[in-house]
Structure 1
Amino acid sequence: MAVSKGQNGAQVAQNNLEIFSGWAAAQSHDDFIQIINRGKLNRRDIAAACGFGTSVFSQNKNVRAALKKLEDRLRADGVLPPIAVKATDKESKQYDNSSRKIAKLASHNGNLERENIELKAKVKLLEAKLERFCELNETLAEMGFMQR
């Protein structure tokens, strides 16, 4: 909401607080459920309903406090989900960047094992062919037919 002629910033802030308080009082639990986004009330929807910008929630400390109080009350009533407690630094799991490396190496290892099995099968096939031709070569040598 733009500053009207004859109103200073404090008066606009007070006016926005009154508009927000009136809007919040007029809403039911079902109305609040409709505007929940990520466990909080959707600021854009509230601002549109009240007729001011979303910047009011960050710039007007009274509106910000009233919104927090409203959300706390709605959490107590079970309309909003409870706030998730963040783990402390000691409890949080450290990111293990070696797990990606290990997965890549495991994949590479599987590929190498598959290739090794294929090559062993090929070697056995070629050894069998070589054995057949060695016997043929010996037979020809015994008969006196040597290839040059």
Structure 2
Amino acid sequence: MANGQQIAEENLAAFMAWSTSKSDDDFRGYVHRGKLKRSEIATECGFGKSALTQNPAIRSALENLENELRAAGILPPLLASLPAGQRLEPALRDTEAKQRRQDGQRLNFLEQENAALRAELQAAKQMLGRHALITEFLEETGRMPR
């Protein structure tokens, strides 16, 4: 059975392997409120979220990683590091994007249904025209055409 120091070393090795296996685009998927999302990191590394805060080696490695990502422009800068008087504007969220996407899907569905109904109506009109000719012939001759 491993003692606490061995587990801490294993967790650090898992974190380092995880951090080196990710690209800049991968890290963008972990950004949450200006930091990397701790719960997802812990889950993927296979240890508890508390290891990120209680293990000093992992904590410093995570801080270094976040600082590198901030320098690369992947993470936004910290509010404390901004010059006085400059405010970081929160990203404007498009609140109507979901509704527009749903409207677009609904419009597409309705257009397809409309095209299908037009084709069905055209076929029905052709059948009606054919039956109108037969009815007219029956009225004039009293006989059924072959």
Matches within 5 A, 1:98-137: none
Structure 2 residue 35 is the aligned partner of structure 1 residue 72: no
Q: What is residue 60 of structure 1 aligned with on the other side?
A: 55
Q: What is residue 16 of structure 1 aligned with on the other side?
A: 11
Structure 2 residue 43 is the aligned partner of structure 1 residue 41: no
Q: Percent identity?
A: 46
Structure 1 segments, 4+ long, off by >2 Å, are none
Between the aligned partners of 2:58 and 2:9, the Cα distance in structure 1 is 9
Between the aligned partners of 1:40 and 1:83, the Cα distance in structure 2 is 9
Structure 2 letter corresponding to 1:23: W
Q: CA deviation at 1:83?
A: 0.4
Q: CA deviation at 1:58?
A: 1.4
Q: CA deviation at 1:24?
A: 0.1
Q: CA deviation at 1:86?
A: 7.8
Between the aligned partners of 1:73 and 1:32, the Cα distance in structure 2 is 11
Between the aligned partners of 2:72 and 2:81, the Cα distance in structure 1 is 22
Q: What is residue 137 of structure 2 aligned with on the other side?
A: none
Equivalent in 20, 23, 29 of residue 25 of structure 1? 20
Between the aligned partners of 2:80 and 2:43, the Cα distance in structure 1 is 30
RMSD over aligned CA atoms reads: 1.7
Structure 1 letter corresponding to 2:14: I
Unaligned runs of 5+ in 1: 92-148
Between the aligned partners of 1:86 and 1:31, the Cα distance in structure 2 is 25
| TM-score of the superposed pair, with normalisation by structure 1 | 0.54
| TM-score of the superposed pair, with normalisation by structure 2 | 0.54
Between the aligned partners of 1:81 and 1:57, the Cα distance in structure 2 is 21
CA deviations on 1:66-115 (whole Å, 9 max, x unpaired) are 0000000000000000000289xxx9xxxxxxxxxxxxxxxxxxxxxxxx
Tell me: higher relative CO, structure 1 or 2? Use CA pairs within 8 A at least 6 residues apart. 1
Q: CA deviation at 1:37?
A: 0.4
CA deviations on 1:25-63 (whole Å, 9 max, x unpaired) are 000011100010000000000001101110001110000
Aligned length: 83
